[in-house]
Structure 1
Amino acid sequence: MPRFTGKVVLISGGARGQGAAEARMLVAEGAKVVLGDLLEKEGQALAEELGPAARFIRQDVTQEADWAAAVQLAEELGPLTGMVNNAGIYVPRTLMQTDAALFERHMRVNQLGCFLGMQAVVPAMERAGGGSIVNISSTAGLRGSPGALAYCGTKWALRGMTKAAAVDLAPRGIRVNSVHPGPIDTDMVKVWTNEQRAVRLSQIPIGRIGQADDVARAVLFLLSEDSAYMTGAELSVDGGASL
């Protein structure tokens, strides 16, 4: 039997890239998914592709009301047992290039959005008898990342928030883990020049840029009962780049 039959998973930033890959794999494993995103055209198209097992909702992760609406939609499909905090932004700038507005924008989407998401799903997961939250951090949350001060700061924050939430939520039957992707070939890294891409590739022992499916497989593991004794863990998916 597929691992997620009868379960519902909410994915923020689910319209494309890693979120879309996670949604496709989850549906293939029997889950129903709610895709939250500001990208309405892409999100609706993906939901149509996935069929009756998927729903799209326009979601701004910095707004509590949008999280409440997404959770409500998820519970209409069944017991909400999984959530992926996948939404995020990456606008690489050095310390001296980063102004307060850009710093705050990263904090609101990457950090506040994750905080609001975790809070929003807890009551629903308790009603479902427990659940699993996966926060998407980055290898930039494990070590310094050149030229990406605000992004790096928020991804380190997710690492700490994950561990604190794991302790808080364990008595409620909810596990919280983080995934730390390295360079992944999605729209997010289109800001790189060819030279920057080549440098990043040279730093990866496995010798290739990652694909969205590489991350999605790790996420499904943490959402599933295969990782039932894991909480507060950090799972790197980076081809060895953080070694």
Structure 2
Amino acid sequence: MRLQGKNMIVTGGASGIGLATVERCLREGANLVLSDLAASDGAARAQALDGHGGRCLFMPCDVTSSGQVDALVAGTVKQLGSVDAVFSNAGVGGLRPAHEMSDADWLRVIDINLSGVFRVARAALQQMYAQGSGSLLNCSSILGGLGQSGAVAYSAAKAGVVNMTRTLAIEAAPRGVRVNSIGPGYIDTPLLNDLSPEMRQALIALHPIGRLGRSDEIANAVLFLASDEASYVTGSHLLVDGGYSAGKS
């Protein structure tokens, strides 16, 4: 039980990587707050997973709202007593060429994928500093270090997450708090279901490992960084991408 007794928040926890992380960390003994938009399937997901009475709670949160983010952290402390780990995973896509992107489209992606991560970090760090311990994990992307046509706002936000993580790690280290980021490659989720067989195969070919990733493989990385096994790891950006970035950096 690598997270036995630890209290953890996962934003964007109702599906995909977030949900896989909730499931994995529950199996390792953590108490989980599954957080997502109020209109998501989060409440039902948490209820289905909570087979141990109060070990998986749903708390709605829109990361574009500082008030809701602050309430999420405060609510976790009220219900569970502490915040030992946070996986800041909430995010959106938004592929569009730069010359076609409106201010509103740009600001939406930046607000959720970058400013939202900052809001969660700020609230989490305030609590972790008071405790004198904690592990904050930010979800970036392979596009946090690489460019891709049509992903100008997404790439800018995810690159910002990586460097924000490094800066926060420097600030947080003297206070007993570790801060790291994770860079998933292309993960085989329903978001890729609309790809043609040809496009899917072309995407697979970009990964030296010869396949797309699975959500549980990202969850395993989160588990490690959240656990005491990573006690000397802070300020790192862990790529979990099947070798996608290896020949492009």
Q: TM-score, normalised by structure 1?
A: 0.95
* AA aligned opposite 2:160: A
Q: CA deviation at 1:73?
A: 2.0
Q: Secondary structure at the match of 1:80?
A: coil
Does residue 214 of structure 1 match 2:217?
A: yes
Q: Could you say what secondary structure the match of 2:99 adopts?
A: coil
Which whole-Å deviations, capped at 9, do the CAs of 1:143-180 have from their partners, x for residues lacking one?
Answer: 11222111111011101100010111111111110100
Residue correspondence of structure 1 range 155-170 to structure 2 within 5 A: 155-170=158-173
Q: CA deviation at 1:49?
A: 1.5
Residue in structure 2 matching 1:96, options 96, 99, 111? 99
After TM superposition, give the deviation of residue 78 of structure 1 in Å. Answer: 2.7
Q: Which runs of 5+ in 1 are unaligned?
A: none
Deviations 1:89-142 (A, max 9, x none): 001112222221111111000000000000001122133330001100000011
Q: Matched residues in 1 for 2:152 and 2:197: separation?
A: 21
CA 1:127–1:167 in structure 2 vs 1: closer, same or farther (change >3 Å)?
A: same
- Counterpart of 1:10 in 2: which secondary structure? strand
Using the TM superposition, name which of 99-108 and 40-49 deviates more: 40-49
- Are 1:179 and 1:236, in contact at CA under 8 Å, matched by a contact in 2? yes
For residues 3 and 65 of structure 1, the distance between their equivalents in structure 2, rounded to whole angstroms, comes to 32
Q: Identity, % of aligned pairs?
A: 38
Gaps (5+ residues) in structure 2? none
Distance in 2 between residues matched to 1:172 and 1:68, nearest whole Å: 20
Match of residue 2 from structure 2: 3
Taking structure 1 as reference, are residues 155 and 191 closer, same or farther at Cα in structure 2, changes over 3 Å only?
Answer: farther
Q: Is 1:98–1:149's contact at 8 Å kept on the other side of the alignment?
A: no
* C-alpha distance in 1 between matches for 2:101 and 2:40: 31
In the TM superposition, what is the alpha-carbon distance from 1:190 to its structure 2 partner? 4.8
> 2:13 — aligned with what?
14
Aligned position for 1:77: 80
Q: Does 1:205 align with 2:204?
A: no
Give distance in 1, aligned partners of 2:61 and 2:190.
19
Asked if 1:145 is matched to 2:144, the reply is no
- Identify which of 66, 69, 74 aligns with 2:68: 66
Please state whether the residue corresponding to 2:188 is helix, strand or coil: coil
Match of 1:45 in 2: 44
Bigger mean CA deviation after superposition, 221-230 or 49-58: 49-58
Native 8 Å contact 1:90 1:188 kept in 2:
no
Once the two structures are superposed, what CA deviation does each residue of 1:29-74 show, in whole Å capped at 9, x if it has no partner?
A: 1111111111545101111122121111111001111111111221
Letter in 1 for 2:27: A
Is the partner of 1:242 in helix, strand or coil? coil
Q: Distance in 1 between matches of 2:230 and 2:99?
A: 41
> Structure 2 vs 1, CA of residues 39 and 201 (structure 1 numbering), >3 Å: closer, same or farther?
farther
- C-alpha distance in structure 1 between counterparts of 2:195 and 2:93, whole Å: 11
Q: How many residues align?
A: 242
- Distance in 2, matches of 1:155 and 1:215, equals 16
Quote the offset at 1:9 in angstroms. 0.5
Cα contact 1:34–1:73 (8 A) shared by 2 = no
Secondary structure in structure 1 of the residue aligned to 2:84 = strand
Distance 1:188 1:111, change over 3 A: farther
CA shift for structure 1 position 197: 2.7
> Which amino acid in 1 is paired with 2:86?
M
Q: In structure 1, the residue corresponding to 2:170 is in which secondary structure?
A: helix
User: What amino acid is aligned across from residue 140 of structure 2 in structure 1?
Assistant: S
Paired residue secondary structure (1:96): helix
- 2:26 aligned with 1:23: no
> What is the TM-score normalised by the length of structure 2?
0.92
